[in-house]
Amino acid sequence: MDSQYPDSPHQNESFLGCVLERNGPDGLINSLSFLFGAFALTINGRLISASDNFASLVEYDVAELRDMNVLDLAVPECRSELQHRLSRDITRRYELQLLTKTGAVKQVVVSPQLFHAKGRKYRLAEFIDQSGFYALQRNQLDNFRNTACALTQAIEQRDPYTNGHMSRTASIAVKLAEALGLKGSAIESIALGASMHDIGKISVPIEILTKPGKLASHEWAFIKRHPEIGHRILSSIDFEKTVKDIVLLHHERHDGSGYPYGLGGREIPIEVSIVAIADCLEAIAGVRPYRKARSFHGAIAIMEQEVSRYDRQVLGVARSLVDGEELNGHEYSPES
């Protein structure tokens, strides 16, 4: 028995075209009222009809929306990407930030559908409001950050020489990530992972952490366990994989000389390489029980003597930031 409704993309396009030709733009939108979501119909990027749900979503009256350019309903930073999608007739589902009449931002998922009627091309888009979901994610991230801060403070209070090391490493890592062009969630993961990268050192005896001389082999074995212990601490917490990878792998080196697994080259995620270089730069520059602080210029020069250990691109960016005084270590007291 034939279905009353279309069951293929081609049939769906034909169905939409027939309804539009028979009932007009508002009739098409009203025919979708039984579906969950907010719908808008456009031609050449111009709104010609919208559902009450869509008008409510963006806080306009339906009459106000007619003839508006859809680009004006997107937040400014999203307009270039939206224009690209419209000009290329991209119909994949995507995320978008809408700007309401009152200036609020709504995070939505857009499902577009192209079809033709009377020789013209139309775009019907369904909008699902995900603002509540993203607000929950932000709250979770804030809770994660608070947890990270508490754990970090607990660890760093044990060792006055490294007090503040993880937060300073996070600050350096974020500057490196931004200079490398990373954005959004990638930077958030780097900041969170870097702020907890040494959490496993809570298991290391304080006399080893603060020992002024060279560590014995059994003492060094304690130190080398801290990435895996830190990873186990975080394993029961709903942190994303990148954060846990940073904690587990931040002592891996590009030439395979690191620990705990001896990974090398492309086996090491770029986020981990960024934190690894930030960690080394901060550690070499900072005060330790057995030496005074160094300048960042001195620290980066030491790292460049063993360039094979590091991601060359990230190390090059670190050198540029140091030379440009964007990384300067003014919180230290460098040796003269």
Can you say how many angstroms the Cα of residue 315 is from the centroid of all Cα atoms in its chain? 21
Burial class (CB in 10 A: 0-12, 13-18, 19+), 38: buried
Residue 14 to residue 326: CA distance in whole angstroms: 58
Residue 22 to residue 59: CA distance in whole angstroms: 29
Residue 301 to residue 286: CA distance in whole angstroms: 15
Contact (Cβ atoms closer than 8 angstroms) between residue 110 and residue 73? no
Report DSSP letters for 170-239, one per residue: HHHHHHHHHHTT--HHHHHHHHHHHHTTTGGGGGS-HHHHT-SSPPPHHHHHHHHTHHHHHHHHHTTS--
Residue 257 to residue 4: CA distance in whole angstroms: 66
In the numeric block, the tokens 């998922």 are attached to 109
Can you say how many angstroms the Cα of residue 181 is from the centroid of all Cα atoms in its chain? 12
Residue 45 to residue 313: CA distance in whole angstroms: 41
* Tokens of residue 86, six digits: 């419209």
- Active-site residue set: 201
In the numeric block, the tokens 């290391």 are attached to 204
Residue 282 to residue 328: CA distance in whole angstroms: 10
> Can you give the length of the chain in residues?
336
Residue 152 to residue 189: CA distance in whole angstroms: 16
